[in-house]
Amino acid sequence: MKYITFVIYIFLVMFACAGCSGGGNSSEQKSSKTTDKKTVAVYFKNGDVMVGEMISQTEDQYVLNWKGKETVIYPEMVERIGNPKEALLEKEEPLTDEEITSHWPYINDVILRLTNQKVLDVEITSVAKDRLTVKHPLEGGGYITQEIDRSQLEYLIFKPVENEKTKDTEAFLKKLFAEMEFYRVGNFTIITDSYITWVKEYQKTVKDVSTNIYLKFLPLFKDRKQEFQNFIVIFDDYTDFVDYAVTDGVPGWAVAGYFTPEDKVLFLYNVLGDKMSEILFEALVGESGRTIDNIVDSVSKYGNDDNYKIYVKGQAKRIKDKFWQAYSFYKGMYKQITMNTLRHEFTHEFFHNWGLQTIVLSRAEKDKKHMEEMKKEFTEAKDAKQTAEFIKKIITYKSDPIDMKAANSCFVEGIATYCETDEPGDQNDRWLFIYQEMARQGAIYPLEVLTSYRMGSFPGVCSQAMQELYAQSWAFVTFLMDKYPEEFLGYQKKLSDQYAKGRDEANLLEKELGKDLKSIQKEFILYMNKFERLEEPFLVEFDKILDILRD
């Protein structure tokens, strides 16, 4: 009954809005108080609540911006006007992520969304493999502890970051990507031109990876505040991504995504975007399907027996089903590439924006100005010819050397590769195979060399060496997180503190583990020998496709 009454109220409100432009409304003679447009909660006498931005109010009516619509509400309908956070906390139904993000009615900056959709506003104090320990504050002071089974946790929601730098970046991105949609949930904002089904996939992936990172590395995060909102720009079209990446001096044709610490934005393209999906469908299903149908039509002419025709059509369907199976296989593979890349690059962004990986990218002032002009020219290009001329200009521009520092390359990339898998630390066959090939050839880098890099993603080495350094970094972080998790997290914390103070102690890892690098290397190599020998992952995937098509 309460909801029926509320619907009638809304109907009256909309009816009143329709008549607001009439000439004889007595409220026009009243003095109108224009508010500072604060978000408020309007409590109705029937028990309903509307949360929105108060635009103006008079003795006769309130004008509320409710869900993007200017809505008139009459005072006689209202019990009181109060704090929106209180209204959200009193709401009987579970709050949506969007409601939580808009008003954040909680004490803690990190809250738990449970599998039953309820929210827990508690402090996470420790994490074990299958449970979390949390503190519930008591009204009279103090707290009680509770253990929560990990299976009851859906994901964590992080308080959005509201500061001037974040607002400036969002305004800049809205201008730069005016045709894209913005989706903000908690501490991340996705900007994309992908369909909503893909947006939900992106959101789920980011929720999962941010939850897993925070819980896996809890000692690093729990006493810190996030410094910046996480912005993620995802292009649905590969060409758009490549065209934009070049404005950042990044070869978009060689990478699937990248995080730029200068702008504090992650850029990525959906490998299975709309155009790629169409190409893949046509290559595997469309063309082959039409060819098979033509063959069936031709063959069917040679027999009048209905059973013969049914048999031919049945065989044709079986063959076409195999092409559909191959299409589904490729779709799954490309989707996995996109999500692995998203997890990898988001790990960089997440750690950086919490002040845990001090990645600094500084350009000469003339280069900064040039890149800004290039981005402006890129967004204002009106046709393909202008875009082509712009790309030629930026590719041939000679910039000054970039000064890039990282909290330690092997751990920056090692942690990112460690978090690529759906559950951080799961076996990553891509990097494990490369490491095993290095081991087979006796080409494992000494840890003195691996840990000596202080520059981003191992710049200056050839592509094969870079892949090997990534692989060994993944392997080394996997080893440390398994065998020395407390010591390794302690090392990461001290390292981030040192970089914040402008210092870098070379032997800090050895001090934390209480061993020299040679002893650590022996343990590391023995640890990695326990993994079962892998075949080349690409050939394994290729064989699966061949099996489908051979059949």
Asked whether residue 381 is domain-assigned, the answer is no
- Whether residue 273 lies inside any domain: the answer is yes
Looking only at the bridges linking them, the beta strands covering 153-158 and 143-149 are: unpaired
Q: DSSP H helical segments within 354-462, as ranges? A: 365-380, 384-396, 409-418, 429-440, 447-450
* 72 in the same domain as 135: no
User: Rounded to whole angstroms, how far apart are CA atoms 370 and 398?
Assistant: 11
- Cα separation, 518 vs 78, in Å, equals 74
Alpha-carbon gap, residue 95 to 55, rounded angstroms? 24
Closest CA to 50 of 87, 85, 79, 76: 87
Residues 346, 283 share a domain: yes
> Could you give phi then psi for residue 17, rounded to 5 degrees?
-65, -40
How far is Cα 5 from Cα 536, in angstroms, rounded to an integer? 65
In a domain, 380, yes or no: no
Q: How far apart are CA 530 and CA 314, in angstroms?
A: 49
Assess contact for 122 and 205: CB atoms under 8 A.
no
Q: Which residue has the tokens 């970094």?
A: 473
What region, left, alpha or beta, does residue 458 occupy, with left being phi > 0 and alpha being psi -120 to 50 degrees? left
Helices (H), 246-364: 274-281, 287-300, 306-353
Cross-strand partners of 405:
360
pLDDT reported for residue 448: 86
Give how far Cα 545 sits from Cα of 31, 108, 326, 334, 537, Å: 74, 49, 6, 14, 13
Task: Return averaged pLDDT per consecutive 10 residues of the chain, 551 residues in all.
Answer: 39 40 39 59 78 84 82 86 71 79 89 91 92 84 86 95 93 92 96 93 96 96 93 92 83 82 90 69 64 68 66 72 69 82 94 78 40 57 58 46 53 93 92 94 89 67 83 96 94 78 68 92 95 79 65 63
Q: What pLDDT is recorded for position 538? A: 66
**How many domains, the chain?**
4
Tokens found for residue 68? 């993007």
Tell me which residue has tokens 């090997």. 468
Q: How many beta carbons lie within 10 A of that of residue 387, not counting itself?
A: 15
Where among 35, 63, 90 does a domain terminate? 90
280/110 Cα distance (integer angstroms): 41
Q: Does some domain include residue 346?
A: yes
Whether residues 211 and 251 share a domain: the answer is yes
State whether 19 and 77 are in the same domain.
Answer: yes
pLDDT of residue 546: 66
**CA 237 → CA 193, 241, 288, distances in Å?**
9, 7, 25
- Residue 112 counted as domain residue: yes
Same domain, 98 and 86: no
Same domain, 117 and 248: no
- Residues 339 and 463 placed together within one structural domain of the fold: no
- Listing DSSP states for 212-235 in one string gives HHHHHTHHHHTT----S-EEEEEE
For residue 494, give its domain range.
Answer: 404-545
State the Cα angle at 374 between 371 and 376, rounded to 5°. 115
pTM: 0.73
Is residue 550 in a domain?
A: no
Confidence (pLDDT) at 397: 43
Residue 148 shares a structural domain with residue 180: no
pLDDT of residue 266: 95
Same-domain pairing of 207 and 338: yes
Q: How far apart are the first and last CA of the chain?
A: 61
- For the domain that residue 137 is a member of, what is the CATH number? 2.30.30.100
Q: Which two tokens stand for residue 447?
A: 């840890």
Query: 47, 73, 90: which is the final residue of a domain?
Result: 90
Cα dist from 97 to 117, 159, 312, 413, whole Å: 10, 11, 53, 31
Q: How far is 340 from 448, CA to CA, in rounded Å?
A: 29
pLDDT at 48 (0 to 100): 75
Report yes or no: 537 and 392 within 8 Å, Cβ to Cβ. no
54 with 40: CB under 8 angstroms? yes
> Which residues make Cβ contacts (< 8 Å) with residue 237, sequence separation at least 6?
193, 269, 273, 274, 275
Residue 301 shares a structural domain with residue 204: yes
Same domain (yes/no): 85, 131: no
Q: Is residue 303 part of a domain?
A: yes
- Alpha helix positions (H), 25-142: 84-90, 97-103
Domain membership flag for residue 22: yes
Residues 446 and 300 placed together within one structural domain of the fold: no
The residue among 30, 65, 90 that closes a domain is: 90
